[in-house]
A and B are shown apart, each in its own frame.
Chain A
Amino acid sequence: MVEVKLENVSKSFGKVKAVNKVNMLVKHGEFLVLLGPSGCGKTTTLRCIAGLEQVDEGRIFIGDEDVTNLPPAKRGVSMVFQSYAVFPHMTVFDNIAFGLKLRKVPADHIKKKVKEAAELLRIGDLLDRYPHQLSGGQRQRVAVARAITVEPKVLLMDEPLSNVDALLRLQMRAELKLLQRKLGATTIYVTHDQVEAMSIGDRIAVMKDGKIIQCDKPMEIYENPADVFVGGFIGTPPMNFIDAVVCKANGKIGVKIDEFFLEAPQFFAKELEKREGKEILVGIRPENVEVENKPVKNALEAKNLIAEMLGSNKIITVQIGEKIAKFVVPPDFEIEPDEKVWLKIEKEKVRFMDKSTGKAILPAG
């Protein structure tokens, strides 16, 4: 069983707290994604686990072993770097064999293992080449092959796909996921691309300012973001947040957006009642709204600003009161700038955030 456990891990660079008391548990065989904007401390966290950075505080466990003070070589981890870091003075074969040679594995065994890894990543015919003769995508594969031949307990990946072009990234994403399934290695993967995180991770840990804000299954993070930041970071386009006031109408609790009353789902009723009369943020996912271009009942009125055609759907940017929001509509939805639209909001999917803290209001029970 290889679990990775971080306990109160902190790391500062000068006055900047890159990682601030992070607690995290990565389960055996799990694919965990560290997601966050640049400078949020995700890469530093990964480097702490790899042993490339010494933590200031806290402990790191891999399996049952406390590895906090062990050098990278003794941790049983391997890492794929953002820059690939494929050694330019060695052939592809020597690159992949590097870790095994250091472990004094017999030559014929090395040959076999390198071949296996190369086949797995479909670079079997490139073994005699030098890295400068390879494309970026191929180098990427060499880096991954090199990392898996040493059979690490934990595989660490630092934005491995950020340097390959968009099309290849899409392909590699699925391949990496498949590879990880095949190997069953506990994997920690750093990315700033939320689509990548959603698609590849068993769980996602969203980081901001050196802290993990939410760590959960992708769908859970998508549907129930822990705060305004997570909601606004994940999703294309991300969640809309609209100002509203909690109030009652016809004996039912809900929120008022301008003059429009939106009834709250039953499971939020108790929490919202405590905040009657207070200002609140309503979180609505762009696809959880039915947009009509003629007046309908129980719909929020808004003004269309611009529509963007994306092929499979259309994104419209609308103005609700002072706020700007984006919604997804079918591609054949006809709309001109400055026309009015009516939004029928799927009330079960609506989320509520505290306006002052930005934290999600959790349903009671």
Chain B
Amino acid sequence: MILISVWTLLPIIFIALGTFTPRLELYQWPKPIIPSHFTLESFINFAQAYGVMDALKNSILAAITTVVLSISIGAPAGYALARFKFKGKDTFRIGVLVTRMFPIAVLSIPLASLYLYIGLYDTVLGVAFIHTVFAYPFSILISMSIFASIPKDFEEAAMVLGCNRLQAFWYVVLPLAAPGLAATAIFSFVISWNEVFAASILTLYNRTLPAFIVSRLEAPTLDFLLASGFFMILPAIIFIYIVRKQLLRMWGIAVK
């Protein structure tokens, strides 16, 4: 447990420390682990660098669109897979995974030309679409297991008490599934936020943050590197932190 914590936390701490270290101190040798004084210099430099803010906006937009799309497509599909029997159910489940079989590198060229043709190339929406394609198999499979874990009795009890199917879902199933769906949302968000390759290929000027940073890595400075790294980690941490409270609170009540 401690080992895992150290393993994941140490780089984050170093990046964070590096980000807030004065620029000159970064190049000293031996480099002090704790900065002599706390500064936002690198951070502000990075934030003010040309295009960063636009890329950030694009990234957030793409991530949110991905979350909305993958949940709104994935959750109903997951619900259907969990509750109903229908022909081709298993085929569909495998089919969902098959979409993840093709490496994006193979798909990227035809996809780029398709995007050019229909006018999605170099748009945030286009990136969000491809990110949704990445995220939705997970959102389907995760939400399926969430819905499957909610006993059918709850829904049926609600229906006998006067709900139609939709109301039973809205008043009973959804509140119980909410923590799990929130986790799915986080997952989709992080998938979109971290995705570099497709975003790099499908955009030119309207880049998302990772794609933007990658394009700038040809001649990076150390401070730029650290600041961008920290910037990339930050939203994911904040987002997970916010939803985590929600998760624990709701699970405390909801689970069994």
A interface, CB within 8 angstroms of B: 50-52, 71-73, 77-79, 81-83, 85, 87-89, 98-99, 102-103, 130, 132, 143, 146-147, 150, 156
Chain A minimum-CB-distance residue to B172: A87
B159 lies within 8 A of A72 (CB)? yes
Quick one: which of B153, B171, B176, B250 contacts A83, CB cutoff 8 A? Answer: B153
Chain B minimum-CB-distance residue to A146: B161
B160 lies within 8 A of A77 (CB)? yes
A50 to B161, CA, bound (A): 10
Q: How far is the CB of A134 from chain B (nearest CB, A)?
A: 12
Return chain B residues, CB-CB under 8 Å to A79: 156-157, 160
B159 lies within 8 A of A73 (CB)? yes
B159 lies within 8 A of A85 (CB)? no
Quick one: which of B151, B162, B164, B250 contacts A85, CB cutoff 8 A? Answer: B151
Chain B minimum-CB-distance residue to A131: B253
Residues of chain B in range 164-209 having any CB-CB distance to chain A below 8 Å: 164, 167, 171-172, 175-176
Known contacts: A89-B176, A89-B253. The answer to whether A72 contacts B160 by CB under 8 A is yes
Chain B minimum-CB-distance residue to A81: B153
B162 lies within 8 A of A73 (CB)? yes
B157 lies within 8 A of A71 (CB)? no
A52 to B167, CA, bound (A): 15
Q: Is B68's CB within 8 Å of the partner chain A?
A: no
Q: Is B254's CB within 8 Å of the partner chain A?
A: yes
A98 to B253, CA, bound (A): 18
A85 to B163, CA, bound (A): 15
Chain A minimum-CB-distance residue to B174: A89
A50 lies within 8 A of B158 (CB)? no
Known contacts: A73-B159, A98-B158, A130-B253. The answer to whether A88 contacts B164 by CB under 8 A is no
Return chain A residues, CB-CB under 8 Å to B254: 88-89
A89 lies within 8 A of B156 (CB)? no
Return chain B residues, CB-CB under 8 Å to A132: 253, 256
Return chain B residues, CB-CB under 8 Å to A87: 154, 157-158, 172, 176
A353 to B149, CA, bound (A): 49
